[in-house]
């Protein structure tokens, strides 16, 4: 009898194969159309507005580190940072980046500096643009929120993007941004923080939309292939479910 683990392994292998085929067939001129997500539209146009205003953008990478159970939310937020860093290298207007994790801090500095290094513009890069704000243990989220509140209250920013892992502490930060009339985009996979985001942010990334940053902002073939593979997997699962129901109804299955 086939075990559940073997079924999942077969599904993952099929998903990886679909992604590989989609990636190999990817071409800039034939990139798949994706539905519009207002939050990513706002992010795409943000750096030009910030450059005109002469103000930085604040990007929060959340409270999770790269070795935490919620690391994928942080990785998705780093894709947003990668997009903003490319724009910053062209406009010389660096974003302010904050995180509650020291491991994420190191990665964020590397991602932000990469476009400047590629253009031999390291003199324009400021490593202090990426900041570690946090405490120890269970108080780290509250300590991070206190630091971000101080930043939003005392630094003029063009927009406030908060993407990654957030809990109840998000409400403290989001409320300050809303009170100061800052353009806000928020996103997390934690359902506990979503109500506060929907109240305080103009655009919200919910669920799987959080993980689509690479496809929507970077338009990277591998990320686009992942979206296509997800769509294909949904159709396969739906088709398999309908087939099983039909076979059961017709008496071919016990």
Domain of residue 210, CATH code: 3.40.50
- 221-249 and 4-25 helices, crossing angle to 10°: 140
Whether residue 165 is found in the same domain as residue 229: no
Whether residue 130 is found in the same domain as residue 237: no
Q: What pLDDT digit, counting tens, does each position of 89-112 carry?
A: 999 899 999 999 999 999 999 999
Predicted confidence at residue 12, as pLDDT, reads: 64
In a domain, 12, yes or no: no
Task: Compute the C-alpha angle 106/71/226, nearest 5°.
Answer: 110
Continuous segment of H or E residues that includes residue 164: strand 159-165
Whether residue 159 is found in the same domain as residue 185: yes
Predicted confidence at residue 34, as pLDDT, reads: 72
Under the banding of pLDDT at 50, 70 and 90, the label for residue 244 is: confident
Task: Compute the C-alpha angle 189/195/199, nearest 5°.
Answer: 125
Give the integer Cα–Cα distance in Å for 184 and 205.
Answer: 11
In a domain, 29, yes or no: no
pTM over 0.75: yes
Whether residue 189 is found in the same domain as residue 245: no
Would you give the DSSP letter of residue 95? Answer: P
Whether residue 198 is found in the same domain as residue 120: yes
Give the domain extent around 231.
Answer: 221-254
**pLDDT tops 70 at residue 166:** yes
Q: How far is CA 184 from the centre of its chain?
A: 14
Whether residue 193 is found in the same domain as residue 234: no
What residues form DSSP beta bridges with 163? 187
Tally of structural domains, the chain? 2
């Amino acid at each position: 009898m086939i075990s559940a683990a073997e079924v999942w392994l077969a599904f993952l292998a099929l998903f990886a194969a679909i992604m590989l085929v989609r990636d190999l067939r990817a071409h800039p001129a034939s990139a798949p159309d994706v539905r519009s997500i207002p939050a990513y539209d706002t992010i795409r146009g943000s750096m030009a507005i910030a450059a005109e205003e002469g103000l930085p953008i604040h990007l929060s990478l959340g409270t999770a580190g790269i070795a935490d159970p919620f690391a994928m939310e942080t990785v998705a937020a780093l894709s947003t940072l990668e997009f903003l860093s490319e724009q910053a290298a062209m406009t010389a207007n660096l974003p302010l980046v904050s995180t509650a994790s020291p491991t994420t801090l190191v990665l964020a500095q590397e991602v932000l500096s990469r476009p400047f290094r590629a253009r031999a513009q390291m003199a324009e890069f400021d490593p202090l643009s990426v900041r570690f704000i946090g405490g120890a243990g269970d108080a780290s989220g509250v300590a991070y929120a206190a630091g971000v509140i101080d930043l939003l209250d005392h630094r003029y920013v063009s927009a406030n993007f908060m993407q990654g892992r957030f809990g109840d502490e998000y409400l403290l930060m989001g409320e300050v941004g809303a009170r100061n009339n800052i353009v806000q985009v928020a996103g997390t996979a934690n359902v506990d923080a979503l109500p506060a985001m929907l109240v305080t942010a103009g655009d919200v990334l919910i669920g799987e939309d959080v993980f689509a940053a690479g496809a929507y902002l970077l338009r990277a073939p591998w990320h686009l292939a992942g979206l296509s593979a997800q769509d294909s997997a949904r159709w396969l699962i739906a088709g398999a479910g309908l087939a099983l129901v039909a076979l059961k109804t017709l008496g071919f299955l016990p």
